[in-house]
Structure 1
Amino acid sequence: MDIIFLSEVKVETHLGVPEWERLTAQTIILDIEIAMPHSSSCQTDEIDDTIDYGVVVSRIRQTLSERSFKLVEALAEHVCQLIMQEFGAPWVKIKVAKPGILPGLKALGVVIERRKSTNPT
């Protein structure tokens, strides 16, 4: 399996359990691994044969600027589903970190992994 990784992607979003915390955008950090649906780009050297990571990052930034989440878990699930549905990735792993949210804590967050289910016909 070929995997694209995006490390320490900084994104502005509205996130937090208390409503007041979601009033102002805050920076979160994403580490994302995306499985390629096929490996033909290794032979063709063509952007059309891969998942364009620039487009992925732009789409994530767009959707997270438009949405509000209470939990990092829900945000991570949203991003995973977006990547699988819109970009055809068969598997996604994402780490969402919310930095500096508590005193003496560098960051908190979650890591989730999702795989497209294959339905036998």
Structure 2
Amino acid sequence: MDTIFLEQVKVQTKLGVPEWERMMPQTIILDIEIGYDLRKACKSDAIVDTIDYGAVVRRIHVTLNEHSFQLVEALAEHICQLILTEFGALSVKIKVAKPGILLGLKSLGIIIERIK
């Protein structure tokens, strides 16, 4: 399996357990690895034979603008399922980081992986 990666994708979303934390959008950072068979695209040099990376990023921005989440776990699962179902990925690994959310901590977050 081949891997498409999207690194340091910065998005705004409403995320957090306390209601006050979800009042204002905050920046989160996503690192995404998408498993896909790229052999056909390597031969054809055509976008239709791969996943349109720009479309994935745009779709993530739209969905995170439409939804709010309490847990980074739920947000990560939502994005994984979106990429698996809407873009036909074979697998997705995602790291969700909330930078600067706690004093003295660069960021916190999770990494999950889902296979179709």
- Quick check: 1:80 aligned with 2:80? yes
Q: CA deviation at 1:36?
A: 1.1
1:34 aligned residue: 34
Partner of 1:22: 22
5+ residue gaps, structure 1, are 117-121
Identity %: 69
* 8 A contact 1:83–1:89 mirrored in 2: yes
Give TM-score, length-normalised by structure 1: 0.94
Q: Note the 1:1-121 alignment, pairs <5 A.
A: 1-116=1-116
User: What are the Cα deviations for residues 76-107 of structure 1, in whole angstroms up to 9, with x where unaligned?
Assistant: 00000000000000100000000000000000
How many residues end up aligned between the 2 structures? 116
Amino acid paired to 2:112 = I
* TM-score (structure 2 length as normaliser): 0.98
Amino acid at match of 1:17: V
Letter aligned with residue 49 of structure 2: D
Deviations 1:36-68 (A, max 9, x none): 145200110000100000000000000001100
CA distance in 2, matches of 1:90, 1:78: 16
Give the conservation status (yes or no) of the 8 Å contact 1:37–1:88. no
RMSD: 0.7
Distance in 2 between residues matched to 1:92 and 1:35, nearest whole Å? 6
Where 2:54 maps in the other structure, the secondary structure is helix
Question: Matched residues in 2 for 1:11 and 1:71: separation?
Answer: 16
In the TM superposition, structure 1's runs of 4+ consecutive aligned residues that sit over 6 Å from their partners are none
